[in-house]
Structure formats: structure tokens, C-alpha cells
Amino acid sequence: GFREVLGAAEGMKEDKASWVSFFQWLRGRGLDGVKLIVGDKCMGMLEAVGEVFPDAKYQRCTVHFYRNVFSVVP
């Protein structure tokens, strides 16, 4: 596989409305067939994924998960 930046937004909030707007902007640029979205468990993103990409699965980023765990475990 490979990594590719699909888009970026400056000054965006992490609420559902902002994520819906961002995802719709990506779709408007031709993004299609999304099967998986990986994120940091931002609730706004979680809610927006189902609305804009109903067939996509959501997976929590393991790096963020373990950083959060190790920040509270001695």
C-alpha cells in the first residue's frame, strides 16, 4: 500500500458538523468507495462517518489508543 494526503482543513472544529462538511468536500473532489476510516475516537468524526460514508468501517488508531493508555498507567 501507500499513503496519500487526500485533503486538509485549517481551523476546523472536531464536531459532527465540521466532519460532515470536510467529508462532503472530499466526496466533491471525487473521493469514492471509502471502506475504512481510521481516527482518534473523536465523537464528531464517529458520527459523521456513518452519515457521509455509510458503508465505511471505523477503526480507532492504535497509536492514539496506546498513547492514551500509557498516559494513565504507571
SS3 57: strand
pLDDT of 6-47, one tens digit each?
899 887 788 999 999 999 999 999 999 999 999 988 899 999
Residue 26: which residues within 8 A CB-CB, separation 6 or more? 6, 7
Residue 6 included in any domain: no
Domain tally, the chain:
1
Q: Distance (Å, rounded) from C-alpha 67 to C-alpha 7? A: 25
**Which residue range forms the structural domain that includes residue 45?**
16-72
Write phi, then psi, for 64 (nearest 5 degrees): -65, -40
Alpha-helix runs per DSSP H in 8-74: 16-28, 43-52, 62-72
Residue 36 included in any domain: yes
Residue 59 included in any domain: yes
pLDDT of 48-70, one tens digit each?
999 999 999 999 998 878 888 89
pTM check: above 0.85: no
